[in-house]
Amino acid sequence: MDIKVPRGTQDILPSETGKWQVVEELIRETCSLYQYKEIRTPIFEHTELFTRSVGDTTDIVQKEMYTFQDRGDRSLTLRPEGTASAVRAFVEHKMFGYPDQPVKLYYMGPMFRYERQQAGRYRQFVQFGIEAIGSADPAIDAEVISLAMAVYQKAGLKKLKLVINSLGDTESRITHKKALVDHFEPHIENFCSDCQNRLQKNPLRILDCKVDRNNSLMATAPSLADYLNEESAAYFEKVKEYLSILNIPFEVDPNLVRGLDYYNHTAFEIMSAAEGFGAITTLAGGGRYNGLVEELGGPDSPGIGFAMSIERLLLAVEAENNKWADLSNLDVYLIGMGETAKKKTVELTNVFRQNNITAEMDYLDRKIKTQMKSADRLKAKFVLVIGEDEIEKESAMLKNLSNGEQQLVPWNELVEKLKNSI
């Protein structure tokens, strides 16, 4: 049999899962500090949810979704991102009626996009994201960004770059859209067929096109920054002010447009500036989506959030040459010599575990020397040896592997002794 993992997916092996758990834990701790609560939504949704929110002219919807008909002939899609589901749940469960607004949610789980595989880009990846729905206060934009930065900093990253932009409100977008159409329309035949389709539907997407990015019209295209109305410009200024209050350095990039359609006002990405991180430098992306709740059938509730993949976070940690703390946690390895001693090690291993002492023993009837090597490899703090002598004395030889000291300890004192020494 020659079946391998599907392209773009990966097995995360026991030697790697320790790091994942550390990151997951620091994410949960950070969300708790900022008071974001976890939401768990299904891995598949009605396809229409994504076409309506992410946008039917985006690459995600047009080229990257895993869409299938179920046996009841419904069109379903493996979620390519988490915002649409969070907002659907917000509407479906009438969270807009909760007494405490904004509703602050986080999620962590697998997302699926049929993308070309390369370093940092997978077809199944784990996204952690947050959404704050129900407030149009620029201070929460800064909070959302600061939570993302806090997670990276706790993971030890230093070479971070925050890039922000404002996409403006609907009015600003409409005037800018018109200017874009006027700019590209006379020469649209020189652009790819995707861009030709985008021209009327969503000309902003043209600026994000990978095929035509070197066309000279790209650099001269009207910039959104020049089309922000007074209100949008004032909002953006306040977001920048709050970021400064939080001591978060940022760069403004007027060309940052993001690959999903639901955004307006604040858009941002966090990049890794570490050498060797690879071509894809974006670690996280997010922004404001006032209007999305209404689009999905709820009342007018403004929202903002971001998402990051754990895969890219781990790659960035590696690119900065940061080492993970030693994650081994074995307190004691038990070695029994002979049939009677074996029974005692089985019993004691169980007793230790019941007392929250991590314990391991041999199940392959190997020689003592080999068992000692196992204990070393597993980085056990102690080794406990029981032979015929020890059986007679109802004791065990406890050896501290860090300093080599050993002593005979009666069975009934072992738990206490270990607890005091660990």
Instruction: Give the residue ranges of the annotated binding site.
Output: 81-83, 113, 127, 131, 258, 262-263
Alpha helices by DSSP H, listed for 93-210, are: 138-154, 170-184, 193-201
Distance CA 79, CA 61 (A): 11
Pull the structure tokens for residue 305.
């959030």
Should residue 285 be labelled a site residue for ligand HAM when binding is judged by CB under 6 A?
yes
Which residue's structure tokens are 């002979």? 338
Should residue 36 be labelled a site residue for ligand HAM when binding is judged by CB under 6 A?
no
For ligand HAM, the binding residue among 115, 194, 212, 295 (CB under 6 A) is 115
Sheet containing strand 382-386, edge to edge, reads 359-361, 332-336, 382-386, 395-400, 406-410
Q: Tell me the window of 80-88, 239-247, 365-373, 396-404 that interacts with ligand HAM (CB under 6 A).
A: 80-88
**Which residue has its beta carbon closest to ligand HAM?**
305
Should residue 140 be labelled a site residue for ligand HAM when binding is judged by CB under 6 A?
no
Q: What mask, x for binding ligand HAM by CB under 6 A, covers residues 95 to 114? A: ------------------x-
Should residue 67 be labelled a site residue for ligand HAM when binding is judged by CB under 6 A?
no
Strands, DSSP E only, in 209-351? 251-252, 264-272, 282-288, 303-309, 332-336
Contact between 261 and 61 (Cβ < 8 Å): no
Is 114 exposed, middle or buried, given 0-12, 13-18 or 19+ CB atoms closer than 10 A? Answer: middle
For ligand HAM, the binding residue among 127, 166, 232, 371 (CB under 6 A) is 127
Longest CA–CA span in the chain (Å) reads: 96
Pull the structure tokens for residue 11.
């097995």
Nearer to ligand HAM, 307 or 337 (CB): 307
Should residue 55 be labelled a site residue for ligand HAM when binding is judged by CB under 6 A?
no
Q: Tell me the window of 75-83, 151-159, 232-240, 353-361 that interacts with ligand HAM (CB under 6 A).
A: 75-83
Q: What is the 3-state secondary structure (H, E, C) of 212-241?
A: CCCCHHHHCCCCHHHHCCHHHHHHHHHHHH
For ligand HAM, the binding residue among 129, 134, 203, 302 (CB under 6 A) is 129
Q: Tell me the window of 100-108, 120-128, 216-224, 338-346 that interacts with ligand HAM (CB under 6 A).
A: 120-128
Binding residues for L-histidine: 81-83, 113, 127, 131, 258, 262-263
Sheet containing strand 66-69, edge to edge, reads 44-46, 75-78, 66-69
Query: At 235, which amino acid appears?
Result: Y
Nearer to ligand HAM, 261 or 331 (CB): 261
For ligand HAM, the binding residue among 287, 298, 302, 336 (CB under 6 A) is 287
For ligand HAM, the binding residue among 39, 257, 293, 307 (CB under 6 A) is 307
Q: Tell me the window of 126-134, 244-252, 364-372, 400-408 that interacts with ligand HAM (CB under 6 A).
A: 126-134
Nearer to ligand HAM, 222 or 286 (CB): 286
Q: Cβ of residue 83: shortest distance to ligand HAM, in angstroms?
A: 4
Length of the chain in terms of residues written: 422
Per-residue b/e over 28-40, b at no fewer than 16 CB within 10 Å?
Answer: eebbeebebeebe
Distance CA 331, CA 346 (A): 16
Give the CA distances from residue 386 to residues 222, 354, 369, 398, in Å, rounded to whole numbers and listed in that order.
80, 20, 14, 9
Tabulate helix, strand, coil % of the chain (nearest 5).
Answer: 45, 20, 35
Should residue 128 be labelled a site residue for ligand HAM when binding is judged by CB under 6 A?
no
Pull the structure tokens for residue 256.
């940052």
Number of residues that bind ligand HAM (CB under 6 A): 26
For ligand HAM, the binding residue among 148, 162, 243, 283 (CB under 6 A) is 283
Q: What mask, x for binding ligand HAM by CB under 6 A, covers residues 156 to 185? A: ------------------------------
Nearer to ligand HAM, 315 or 337 (CB): 315
Q: Tell me the window of 28-36, 194-202, 306-314, 331-339 that interacts with ligand HAM (CB under 6 A).
A: 306-314
For β-strands 395-400 and 406-410, DSSP reports them as: antiparallel
For ligand HAM, the binding residue among 18, 109, 259, 387 (CB under 6 A) is 259
Nearer to ligand HAM, 168 or 305 (CB): 305
Q: Give the residue from 320, 323, 331, 313 showing the smallest Cα distance to 380.
A: 331
Q: Is the peptide bond before 299 cis (omega within 30 degrees of 0)?
A: no
Q: Cβ of residue 126: shortest distance to ligand HAM, in angstroms?
A: 8
For ligand HAM, the binding residue among 24, 41, 121, 278 (CB under 6 A) is 121
Point out which residues bind ligand HAM (CB under 6 A).
Answer: 81-83, 113, 115, 121-122, 125, 127, 129, 131, 259-260, 282-287, 305-309, 311-312
